[in-house]
Structure 1
Amino acid sequence: MSRNAPEPRPIQSDRRPPTERNNVRGEATRQVIIAAAERLFAERGITAVPLRDIGIAAGQRNHAAVQYHFGDRDELVKAIMESRGAESEAHRVQVVTSLMMGNRTPTTSDVVDAFVRPLAIHIKPNNHYLAFLSLLITGQGGYEGLNNRDIHAGASVLTLGTLLGRLVTELPPAVLEERWSLARTSAVHALARYQSAQQKREHLPAKIDVLIDDLVAFLSAGLVAPLAGSDPRAR
């Protein structure tokens, strides 16, 4: 062998235990399936997509791959919620912490903004969570309906609801709770519409950031609006 020839490098083998390697591969497969399911659910409807189609879209040769990793449709839906919801929750926790630790008293608009903007982070390419979530809450009766599926809002959203109750004292608690649920549901639908229009390159009346600002202002005004004179709860 020539003196100038490089020394052969030893072949690097994966020395991790077989169980650990299988777990890593299994989690990677789960994430691919979650991404495929989110897209197909958003495009075709949550109950309209056969699990087999999701497996094919995820590149799985085994037609039972989705059932193997998730069990059934409900568990797959929960997995999507947990995966994407964790992204929003991490962002929202920072915002809520800043609100609670700040030097000024938060406003109703601050509360709404803290809910809306962490959802708006999903307005980006190859992300179909808002459209998926919009369809899901429509089918389940809004955020309250989601709780019936054991899919709960993050702790930060619960904190925002408590803070809102302290800020808006002129309304009966039951009215404010209903309006808060309506505001959250409306925010999801509006953001899903913005994302869909952006992905399809349809015309929007303003830039996304401006539309989000206006959405926050609109929802905030609705939360504190006086009750209609015909509403018996106003008496």
Structure 2
Amino acid sequence: MARTSGPETREKLIRAAEEIFAAQGVHGGQLRDVVALAGQANPSAVQYHFGSREGLVDAVMAGRQLRTNEVLAPLLDAAPDELPALLTTLVTAEASELRTARGRRCLRISAQLSHESGVRTRTPHPTLDGTPYWRLFERIEACLAAPPAALPEPLRLERLDLALTVVGAAMADRARQYLDGVEPLTGEALFLADLVATTSALLRAAQPRSGEDTETSRKDIP
């Protein structure tokens, strides 16, 4: 088995992790399988180069963010502060990962991690901090806070987090179909346009009744 070191070994481990985690799950994939697929003799290679499984996952996501940030940054600079335009920017950047097998695998991985973005607490995950993605999230939230249909902060943060989960899940499923050679129900252009429209409708849904009314209605639930 060939032995390598330094940046070359790190890259091999990252590529192997993309394959294993996409197929078996971020938490289900075995690190020993990653090490073996990367062609490394040292069973502790992941710990040596990344410190932990979490460190390896962060490295995978950092590479994915680097690629999509290159697409997102100029689109975000040109986008007006309007919800459909901002969501189109997000979906377009995410869809750039559908072009390659590597990107498709990373979409399957990132969908498993959408709840770790930090949107709900306004504390960005280290791979998102200071990136065009985080600026995009802030601009989308600002749209939800603007009159005449402004949402209260807790509700808009929950909705934004849910919207990101929906986009991530939809992209991951599309990526799975491409990887498996399955013919999607819709063409890609329609899929992306519908994802923007669906996510926009989710974010713009009318605010529910007051908390007091909601609590009262819960008492009627057996």
Query: Shared topology, TM-score over 0.5?
Result: yes
Structure 1 unaligned spans of 5+: 1-23, 100-104
Give CA-to-partner distance per residue, 1:166-195, whole Å, 9 cap, x none: 433222232222111111111011000011
- Contact (CA 8 Å) 2:72, 2:132: kept in 1 or not? yes
TM-score, length-scaled by structure 2 = 0.81
**1:136-147 → structure 2 map (5 Å cutoff):** 136-137=113-114, 141-144=115-118
- Contact (CA 8 Å) 1:111, 1:164: kept in 2 or not? yes
For the residues of structure 1 that align with 2:164 and 2:15, how far apart are their CA atoms?
Answer: 24
RMSD (Å), alpha carbons: 2.6
For the residues of structure 2 that align with 1:93 and 1:233, how far apart are their CA atoms?
Answer: 43
**Aligned AA (1:96):** L
Change (3 A) 1:154 1:199: farther
The answer to whether residue 106 in structure 2 is matched with residue 126 in structure 1 is no
> What secondary structure sits across from 1:83 in the alignment?
helix
Moved over 6 A (4+): none
- Structure-2 residue corresponding to 1:227: 207
The answer to whether residue 56 in structure 2 is matched with residue 76 in structure 1 is yes
- Structure-1 residue corresponding to 2:11: 31
For the residues of structure 1 that align with 2:129 and 2:92, how far apart are their CA atoms?
Answer: 15
Change (3 A) 1:50 1:148: farther
Change (3 A) 1:214 1:153: farther
Q: 1:225 Cα shift?
A: 1.3
- Contact (CA 8 Å) 1:124, 1:195: kept in 2 or not? no
Change (3 A) 1:200 1:154: farther
For the residues of structure 1 that align with 2:171 and 2:68, how far apart are their CA atoms?
Answer: 14
* Identity percentage of aligned residues: 27
Q: 1:230 Cα shift?
A: 6.2
Change (3 A) 1:63 1:158: closer
Give CA-to-partner distance per residue, 1:76-111, whole Å, 9 cap, x none: 011111111111122111111112xxxxx4321111
Q: Which moved more, 1:148-157 or 1:161-170?
A: 148-157
For the residues of structure 2 that align with 1:199 and 1:109, how far apart are their CA atoms?
Answer: 29
Give CA-to-partner distance per residue, 1:45-83, whole Å, 9 cap, x none: 222223221111011223222222212111101111111
| Structure number with bigger Rg | 1
**Aligned AA (2:156):** L
TM-score, length-scaled by structure 1 = 0.77
For the residues of structure 2 that align with 1:86 and 1:226, how far apart are their CA atoms?
Answer: 36
Aligned mate of 2:178, from 193, 198, 210: 198
- Give the number of equivalent residue pairs: 203
**Aligned AA (2:6):** G
**1:91-110 → structure 2 map (5 Å cutoff):** 91-99=71-79, 105-110=80-85
> What secondary structure sits across from 1:144 in the alignment?
coil
> What secondary structure sits across from 2:28 in the alignment?
coil
Q: Which moved more, 1:189-198 or 1:55-64?
A: 55-64
- Contact (CA 8 Å) 2:84, 2:197: kept in 1 or not? yes
Q: 1:149 Cα shift?
A: 6.2
The answer to whether residue 94 in structure 2 is matched with residue 114 in structure 1 is no
**1:14-53 → structure 2 map (5 Å cutoff):** 26-53=6-33
Aligned mate of 2:139, from 153, 159, 163: 163
